């Protein structure tokens, strides 16, 4: 047998790796969270090998028994991943070989490469995490829908250029975020579908001469279909890029709501007050109440963008085939998921507990000429003047009032200035035209800010969220059912007291 080798691939090497080389190349920290997926992938691979007659039933029993033990030992802390063994795949295989012996454990890697193995782990991991992010996003949308239902009639200033534009309702504002986050849901769902294909069986890059059955592992891993082209799948990380892009946009959107929270809670704006449970003080200034969660969400956005850019840069120069550069795909992906999930873990509750200062909002919505467009619209409707001319008239009025530091609410002056422009409107009517609340009631065009439209959109969005929830449940069941089916076969094989039972068990798999 020759002298014992330091690595499982060390056959051709005469010296072992230096400590520094191992430290530079291993991926143990990143791989730790993959071990459950790695073992599931190995179980399905071994079952498939036995069913195809590539390994014996006795081999299968030994392999499955020690894979199961590896998992429980890992959970109990009796099996830890060793950097000297490079990655999770080599650690698990070494565990098998050390415990079951090379004559059994050494057969697991037949017709498989770490190249397809690592992709199986990543695909399985991404599926779970996308569903987690989707659940968090749905909760966030629910929080916005709650605000929308309560505040469909609450006026606030709508902004463009961060300047008063037109009055809208707080409910309308909240539904805008739901509308936006629903697109994130769709992007994540599409990323999920891309990730839900089976790389296993691609082997190193060329497929294999063994009579493997990729459909069986596809079924047992709950994938939609095999990712057929062996060289393409080995070389592809676009499913990760797609996911990171979807996560980057989620963060962009979370950062935008965070930005609004930050300035809405300023003394100057004063339209929202955070619950104390989500606020921070200062070590020196006793009066401070700071929106740190929103700031950190905004501040962590760049790290998720960085993850996307990291991966895109990694991919751009890589030739077809596996390249070790690919190992670097995991830390940014982990980081992106961790950050997004952490933000989504806090923001829904932070929003639900925020006290919106509706009186202050109404005061702002009625100030600073925010209803000027309504006056122009009135003139178009009642005086048969073109909109451009009405715009000019109201613009002139605002300019004059503003110069004298007056507002529309200086009603007699407003009336007089309009009269000078040959427009006669009784003060009572002026008050109605320029009332912010009436303005939002009347903006009844499709998708506008009227309470009727807000309620209609709330219902539509709630329905979409229900559909998303059923998708998430359906995907989760597919994952769980496939895992349960794998574990059922493992139990059957390990519980069978004769090879016949094992054979019947694996022959009976329906797919």
Q: Is 334 in the site for ligand ARG (CB under 6 A)?
A: no
Among 37, 181, 305, 326, binds ligand ARG (CB under 6 A): 326
146 as an active site residue: the answer is no
Among 243, 265, 297, 327, binds ligand ARG (CB under 6 A): 327
Residue with tokens 């010296």, as numbered in its chain: 15
Total residues interacting with ligand ARG, rule: CB under 6 A: 9
- Catalytic site residue from 14, 161, 445, 498: 161
Judged by beta carbon, residue 113 or residue 166, the one nearer ligand ARG is 113
Residues 6+ apart with CB under 8 A from 256: none
Among 42, 91, 115, 196, binds ligand ARG (CB under 6 A): 115
- Classify residue 509 by its DSSP letter: -
Q: Closest by alpha carbon to 188, among 121, 234, 118, 244?
A: 244
- Give the separation between CA 85 and CA 94, rounded to whole angstroms: 8
* Beta carbons of 434 and 374 less than 8 angstroms apart: yes
Task: Tell me which stretch binds ligand ARG (CB under 6 A): 259-267, 302-310, 321-329, 363-371.
Answer: 321-329
164 as an active site residue: the answer is no
- Give the separation between CA 53 and CA 185, rounded to whole angstroms: 43
- Catalytic site residue from 282, 386, 470, 477: 282
Q: Is 223 in the site for ligand ARG (CB under 6 A)?
A: no
Residues 6+ apart with CB under 8 A from 130: 188, 191, 192, 195, 243
Q: With the C-alpha atoms ordered 48, 52, 57, 58, is the resulting torsion angle positive or negative?
A: negative
Q: Is 27 in the site for ligand ARG (CB under 6 A)?
A: yes
Q: How many CB atoms neighbour CB 324 within 10 A?
A: 8
Residue with tokens 């805008």, as numbered in its chain: 176
CB of 27 to ligand ARG, least distance (A): 4
Q: Is 87 in the site for ligand ARG (CB under 6 A)?
A: yes
Among 50, 118, 458, 472, binds ligand ARG (CB under 6 A): 118
Among 74, 172, 305, 322, binds ligand ARG (CB under 6 A): 322
Judged by beta carbon, residue 151 or residue 227, the one nearer ligand ARG is 227
Judged by beta carbon, residue 324 or residue 388, the one nearer ligand ARG is 324
Among 51, 85, 109, 114, binds ligand ARG (CB under 6 A): 114
Q: Is 42 in the site for ligand ARG (CB under 6 A)?
A: no
Give the ranges where 106-237 is alpha helix by DSSP (H). Answer: 114-150, 170-195, 214-220, 230-235
- Give the separation between CA 218 and CA 323, rounded to whole angstroms: 25
Residue with tokens 């006290």, as numbered in its chain: 355
- Residue ranges that bind ligand ARG, judged by CB under 6 A: 27, 87, 114-115, 118, 322, 324, 326-327
Catalytic residues: 161, 282
């Amino acid at each position: 047998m020759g002298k014992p080798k330091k690595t499982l691939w060390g056959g051709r090497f005469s010296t072992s790796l230096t400590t520094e080389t191992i430290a530079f190349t291993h991926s143990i920290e990143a791989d730790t969270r993959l071990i459950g997926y790695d073992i599931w992938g190995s179980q399905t691979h071994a079952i498939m090998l036995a069913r195809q007659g590539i390994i014996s039933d006795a081999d299968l029993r030994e392999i499955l028994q020690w894979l199961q033990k590896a998992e429980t030992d890992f959970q109990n802390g009796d099996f830890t991943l060793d950097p000297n063994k490079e990655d999770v795949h080599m650690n698990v295989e070494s565990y098998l070989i050390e415990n079951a012996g090379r004559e059994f454990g050494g057969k697991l890697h037949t017709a498989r490469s770490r190249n397809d193995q690592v992709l199986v782990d990543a695909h399985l991991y991404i599926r779970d995490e996308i569903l987690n992010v989707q659940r968090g996003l749905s909760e966030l949308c629910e929080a916005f829908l709650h605000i929308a239902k309560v505040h469909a009639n609450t006026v606030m200033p709508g902004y463009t250029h961060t300047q008063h534009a037109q009055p809208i309702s707080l409910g309308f504002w909240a539904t805008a975020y739901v509308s936006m986050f629903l697109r994130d849901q769709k992007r994540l769902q599409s990323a999920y579908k891309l990730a839900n294909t089976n790389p296993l069986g691609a082997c190193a890059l060329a497929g294999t001469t063994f009579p493997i059955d990729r459909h069986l592992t596809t079924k047992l891993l709950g994938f939609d279909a095999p990712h057929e082209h062996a060289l393409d799948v080995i070389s592809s990380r676009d499913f990760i890029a797609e996911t990171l892009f979807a996560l980057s946009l989620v963060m962009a959107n979370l950062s935008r709501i965070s930005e609004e929270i930050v300035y809405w809670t300023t003394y100057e704006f004063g339209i929202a007050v955070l619950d104390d449970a989500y606020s921070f003080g200062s070590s020196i200034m006793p009066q401070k109440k700071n929106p740190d969660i929103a700031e950190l969400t905004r501040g962590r956005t760049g790290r998720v963008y960085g993850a996307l850019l990291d991966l895109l840069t990694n991919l751009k120069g890589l030739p077809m085939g596996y390249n070790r550069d690919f190992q670097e795909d995991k830390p940014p992906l982990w980081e992106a998921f961790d950050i997004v999930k952490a933000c989504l873990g806090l923001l829904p509750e932070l929003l639900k507990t925020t006290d919106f200062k509706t009186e202050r909002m109404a005061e702002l919505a009625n100030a600073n000429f925010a209803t000027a467009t309504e006056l122009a619209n009135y003139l178009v409707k009642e005086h048969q003047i073109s909109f451009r001319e009405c715009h000019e008239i109201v613009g002139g009025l605002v300019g004059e009032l503003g110069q004298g530091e007056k507002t529309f609410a200086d009603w007699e002056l407003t009336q007089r200035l309009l009269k000078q422009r040959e427009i006669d409107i009784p003060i009572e009517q002026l008050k109605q035209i320029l009332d912010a609340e009436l303005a939002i009631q009347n903006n009844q065009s499709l998708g506008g800010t009227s309470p009727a439209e807000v309620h209609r959109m709330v219902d539509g969005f709630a329905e979409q969220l229900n559909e998303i929830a059923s998708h998430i449940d359906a995907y989760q069941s597919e994952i769980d059912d496939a895992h349960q089916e794998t574990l059922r076969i493992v139990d059957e094989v390990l519980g069978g007291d004769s090879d016949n039972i094992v054979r019947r068990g694996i022959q009976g798999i329906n797919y």
